Amino acid sequence: MDSGLALHVFSALFAIMNPIANMGILLSLTAGMDAARQRRVALVSATAAAVGCALSVVAGTAILAFFGIDTNSFRVAGGVLVFLIALYIQRSTYFGRDMYAVGGSAEAARLSGIRMSRTIIAVYAIAGGLAALGGVLQVARI
């Protein structure tokens, strides 16, 4: 493999997986656990991520070919699906209404009793997940 390509793939995967930012998430989710259990959760999470990446690298194209789907069609279908899910969340859930209120006027949302920090953190987490999905799809083009 070309060293430039390997560096490009590594940097893209590093940006998608972002171990530095994910460390805080892992520590907050395992805050009530003892150290041994935290290590076990971290090991299982890292193993699952590695297996998922390896499976995508080794068999991703074959799986898509088996179903008769090319990468561009998969990308378009994924974008449409994400759009429809976002539209449903925005129009049909309390979270969507909270998100709309916080984006419209933070002060009015706060006075209405909306938990601002929870809504803002959730929106950033969703945006980060979608950015990661976009990165995975971009890396799939290599």
**pLDDT per residue over 62-99, tens digit each?**
888 898 888 788 878 888 998 999 899 889 999 889 88
Residue 125 tokens read as 């987490």
Burial classification of residue 99, based on how many CB atoms lie within 10 Å of its CB (0-12 exposed, 13-18 middle, 19 or more buried): buried
Distance between first and last Cα of the chain: 12
| pLDDT tens sequence across 27-57 | 777 888 888 998 888 888 888 888 887 888 7
Tell me how far apart the alpha carbons of residues 124 and 141 are, in angstroms, rounded to a whole number: 26
Token pair 């789907």 is found at: 69
Answer for the pair 89, 96: CB distance below 8 angstroms, yes or no: yes
